[in-house]
Amino acid sequence: MKKLVITIAIAALLGAAPAQAHLVRVPDYPGKSLLANRLASQTINVKHARYVCKHGANAHQRWACKAVKWLVRERNETKAAMAPRVSSSAWAWYLSSDTQCVTNHEGAFTTNTGNGYYGRFQMDVSFQNETAYGRAAYRRYGTADRWPPAVQVQHAHDIWSYAGWSRWPTYARYCS
């Protein structure tokens, strides 16, 4: 017990100990996906490793400086896994002449004219929530004008797959 008290007293007299390298476990955020929680944990670990690399001592500093490189790579891989994906059939559909005719009349991916329709495919809120994919995008990004183009294309393709051009009645008549 005396040794512990003396050690603590000496440490207090000498000032704070140098930064030590270790990985930090961040508690899970409820309601977020496994990848989102992993990304949060990785981001904190990168910041911590960078701090120890700059302010650490000896072995801790060397370890942290080497760790920054692979920690950043792991974080970037997690970000890539979280990026929206579009199936090849959705891109083929989007690039087809029929779809181009409709989308040329609809607007840009960031269109929000205030009329209740959003994005390249002029989706109203019920249209955006029509599939599980659309509901997830709506929760994550908000209205379709804020969705990445890949997400808009995939959702519109999914709707078109089972409803045809009925969700775009005005311009579908012009292009048919």
105 versus 40: the higher-pLDDT residue is: 40
Assign 42 a pLDDT band (cuts: 50, 70, 90): confident
Residues 6+ apart with CB under 8 A from 25: 41
For the ranges 2-11, 16-25, 95-104, 117-126, which has the lowest average pLDDT? 2-11
Angstrom distance (rounded) from CA 145 to CA 149: 9
Q: Which residue has the tokens 């775009």?
A: 168
Residues 6+ apart with CB under 8 A from 86: 150, 151, 153, 154, 157
Structure confidence by residue, pLDDT tens digits, 75-100 = 888 777 776 677 778 878 888 877 78
Angstrom distance (rounded) from CA 109 to CA 147: 8
Options 3.40.50.970, 3.40.50.300, 1.10.3720.10, 1.10.530.10; CATH of 88-175: 1.10.530.10
- All structural domains of the chain with their residue ranges: 15-82, 88-175
DSSP 67-122: HHHHHHHHHHHHHHHHS----HHHHHHHHSHHHHHHHHHH--TT-B-SSS-BTTTT
pTM reported for the whole predicted model: 0.56
Helices H / strands E in the chain, number of each: 9, 0
Assign 58 a pLDDT band (cuts: 50, 70, 90): confident
SS3 123: strand
Q: Which residue has the tokens 């100990």?
A: 17
Structure confidence by residue, pLDDT tens digits, 111-157 = 888 888 898 888 888 888 888 778 888 888 889 999 888 888 888 88
